[in-house]
Amino acid sequence: MTTRTRKACGWWACWVSPALLAIVCAPRVWAQAEEETPPVNALAIKQQMVLDRLARLEDHMFRLREKLAQSEPENARKLGAALERAGKLDVKARIAALTEALNSVGGLDRSMDQQQELLVDMESILNVLLDRDPNDARRRAELQRLAEVKENLDKLLQAQMQERQAAARRVQAERLGRQIDEAAEQLGRLEKAQTDLAERTAKNESGENAEAQSAEQKQLAEQAERLERDLKRMAQRQEELNSDPPGGDKSKQTGDESKGESSEKQDGAPLNDAAKQMGESADDMQKAAAQQEAGEPQSAHEKQEDALEKIRRAIHRLEEAKKQLEKETESSANGDKQRRIAEDASKLSQKMQPKGSDNQSGDSQKQPGQPKGGDQKGDQQQGDQSRQNQQQPQQQQQPTPGQENVERAQQHMQDAADDLDKQNTPDAIQEQDKALDELERAKRELEETLKQLRKEEQEEMLASLEARLTEMLAEQVAIRDATAPLAELGEENFTRTETLQCAELAERQSGVAEAADMCVRLLEEDGTTVVFPNMMQQLADDMRLIADRLAQVKVNALTVSMESDAHATLAELLDALKKLREKLKEQKQQQAGGGGGMSGGDGPLVPTSAELKLLKSSQQRINRQTATALEAEDESESTELLSRAAGQQAELVEMAKEMQQRAEKGMGP
């Protein structure tokens, strides 16, 4: 039951549930804790204390119900239902009867049975209190479902983006292949022209027409230079293609290189080498032209032959580059991968169907082997299922935001796959772009819905925290006000009445600490704040220390000072929450009026600016505790308190570091 109590998220449960459990379990625990059977009247006294606590609890629940009647009618209704059930079960009268039974000889066995029955009934009351708003449960389930859908959508979007990049790369590779073909044709023509000129130069031993042949050679050299520049540009394009694979996964390239694959795939070596050969060929042609002008046809012919050899090498390297390019693109020349992505989109669309709507058509179909007419029992089950579907909330029957976009994207993906099968890559890219656009729209719709749901959740959590802290503060003030007269009276003057009163105050203080723990758990579940949960945890620890002092009847000025410090910390936290809720309310009104406002529920529960103020308040609290420790008369108590303050100061340093890290992360690219 303790675990169950700690999981309660209604703010009123932070008081009612622990107190209710303590009332039920206290007599039983006390009886089991005694190694020897205590005097009967001692157990009766403790049972009477339970009855008194129940009376205070009922009064507290009545007052809570009145306060919540306007602001939180649903929670007020639950409190009223719990009170009504307690009245029907006659809990107070039964506990009073237990007190009388414990005063009688031989009543222990009977009392244990009655306590067990009472425990079961009180558990049913607790169930009423812990029954959370169904809308909260639906919202949490919807948040979780939409978050999973968005995660799958992001993966789908990434896969489609990579396939789009692969298609674009394929188009660039095809264009580059055509350019290589054109360059090869030009090189072939250049080779033919250079061969013809070299033959004429070899025949022209007398040196006639040397000037004309020199001019012709220079023109061929200029063509070779232009081809060199073109080949360099093509080599650069191939390097860009190889250095930017689909999805930007360069790690795979590095792995390929480590396996000993040719580096030509990475640096466009064939085209670079072809360009180099053409540059050297152009130089040989220029030298041949100069030697022709100088009347040295034999030397010119040798240079022409050198130029021809380099042209042929360049042609050979172009052929290698073309084969390499074809090999790299042929594996992705069909639409198989795109079709698999389309299947993933179809599966995601099915997951996005709201509960109760995805199997409705299938429910009416007969299973294989079932008689055509069916049977009465099966018809009745189908009728029951149909009625259940009709009774589901309208919200669950609505399509998931972005579902229609995903369905349209799936169709565009299928069309793109068909185009890829037909080697119609440009049209496939257009369909892929349409699919990406639909997926982006689906993502925006999902993000907007998630933002709105988270915003509602945060608003309710802030309201819950404020209500919890309000009640905690009221109880803490009551505890402090009850402790102050005891401290003035002095421990040495205590009678049994004051001792019992200290025990009661210790239990109440433990209850406030439990409520603080509940706040910590809620904040940790939210996971978007740093200072608030740590500050609440330190406060809970301080409250437990106060409870221990009260239980040990260490009631003095130091105890009152610690209670006052706890009160001050609660007041600071409550004030921060109130200001935050007021600010959010104003922003919401501005947003409703079209004046902008808050961005939504994608931010932290408590903004960084508010957490900085809480960090300052936490430092001030530690300063107060340090001063209190230094003023303690007992040296051992002073040392203990200073040690606790030092530990909390270290935690404060860690909070500041974590806030800095989060801020730096948020400022990153």
Confidence at residue 238, expressed as pLDDT on a 0 to 100 scale: 85
For the segment 58-67, the average pLDDT, to the nearest whole number, is 82
Confidence at residue 282, expressed as pLDDT on a 0 to 100 scale: 93
The mean pLDDT value of the chain amounts to 77
Confidence at residue 389, expressed as pLDDT on a 0 to 100 scale: 44
Q: Transcribe 314-325 into DSSP letters.
A: HHHHHHHHHHHH
pLDDT over 60 (residue 340) = yes
How many other C-beta atoms can be found within 10 angstroms of the C-beta atom of residue 114?
A: 17
DSSP state of 246: G
* Nearest to 53, CA basis, from 503, 496, 551: 503
**Range name among 339-348, 398-407, 410-419 with the lowest pLDDT average:** 398-407
Tell how far CA 404 is from the center of its chain: 24
Residue 228 to residue 282: CA distance in whole angstroms: 9
* Nearest to 61, CA basis, from 78, 48, 49, 79: 79
For the segment 98-114, the average pLDDT, to the nearest whole number, is 70
Residue 97 to residue 465: CA distance in whole angstroms: 38
Chain segment 188-214, per-residue pLDDT in tens = 999 999 999 998 888 876 566 788 889
Residue 83 to residue 62: CA distance in whole angstroms: 8
Question: Which amino acid, 212?
Answer: A
Confidence at residue 154, expressed as pLDDT on a 0 to 100 scale: 94
Chain segment 590-636, per-residue pLDDT in tens = 666 554 444 445 556 666 667 777 777 778 778 887 887 787 777 77
Q: Transcribe 618-665 into DSSP letters.
A: HHHHHHHHHHHHHH-SSHHHHHHHHHHHHHHHHHHHHHHHHHHHHHHH
pLDDT over 50 (residue 311) = yes
Confidence at residue 483, expressed as pLDDT on a 0 to 100 scale: 93
**Range name among 98-102, 181-185, 437-441 with the lowest pLDDT average:** 98-102
Chain segment 494-550, per-residue pLDDT in tens = 999 999 999 999 999 999 999 888 888 878 776 667 777 888 888 899 899 999 989
Residue 429 or residue 99, greater confidence: 429
pLDDT over 80 (residue 12) = no
Confidence at residue 220, expressed as pLDDT on a 0 to 100 scale: 94
Phi, psi of 401 (to 5 degrees): -55, 130
Confidence at residue 528, expressed as pLDDT on a 0 to 100 scale: 66
**pLDDT over 90 for what percent of the chain?**
27
Confidence at residue 31, expressed as pLDDT on a 0 to 100 scale: 44
Sequence ranges of the domains in the chain: 1-132, 142-246+266-330, 443-669
Whether 479 and 505 have beta carbons less than 8 Å apart is answered as: yes
What proportions of the chain, in percent to the nearest 5, are helix, strand and coil?
85, 0, 15
Mark residue 296 as left, alpha or beta (left: phi above 0; alpha: psi -120 to 50; beta: remaining).
beta
Banded pLDDT at 359 (limits 50, 70, 90): very low
Residue 315 or residue 37, greater confidence: 315
Q: Transcribe 139-197 into DSSP letters.
A: HHHHHHHHHHHHHHHHHHHHHHHHHHHHHHHHHHHHHHHHHHHHHHHHHHHHHHHHHHH
User: Which residues are CB-contacts of 126 (< 8 A; sequence separation ≥ 6)?
Assistant: 1, 4, 5, 17, 20, 21
Choose from 32-36, 148-152, 367-371, 393-397 the range with maximum mean pLDDT.
Answer: 148-152
Q: For the chain, first and last CA: distance in Å?
A: 47
pLDDT over 80 (residue 463) = yes
Residue 167 to residue 413: CA distance in whole angstroms: 12
pLDDT over 90 (residue 223) = yes
Q: Judge if pTM exceeds 0.95.
A: no
Chain segment 394-405, per-residue pLDDT in tens = 444 567 889 999
For 1-132, CATH number out of 1.10.1760, 1.20.120, 1.10.150, 1.10.3470 equals: 1.20.120
Helices (H), 294-375: 297-330, 336-351, 360-363
Choose from 11-15, 123-127, 382-386 the range with maximum mean pLDDT.
Answer: 123-127
Residue that is written with structure tokens 């188009």 in the block:
171
User: CA 386 → CA 359, 360, 383, 435, distances in Å?
Assistant: 11, 8, 5, 35
pLDDT over 50 (residue 374) = no
Confidence at residue 393, expressed as pLDDT on a 0 to 100 scale: 42
Confidence at residue 667, expressed as pLDDT on a 0 to 100 scale: 45
**Range name among 53-57, 286-290, 508-512, 568-572 with the lowest pLDDT average:** 53-57
Structure tokens at 311: 């042209």
Residue 214 or residue 458, greater confidence: 214
CB crowding 276-290: b at 16 or more within 10 Å, else e: bbbbbbbbbbbbbbb
Chain segment 119-171, per-residue pLDDT in tens = 777 777 776 665 545 456 677 778 888 889 999 999 999 999 999 988 888 88
Phi, psi of 575 (to 5 degrees): -65, -40
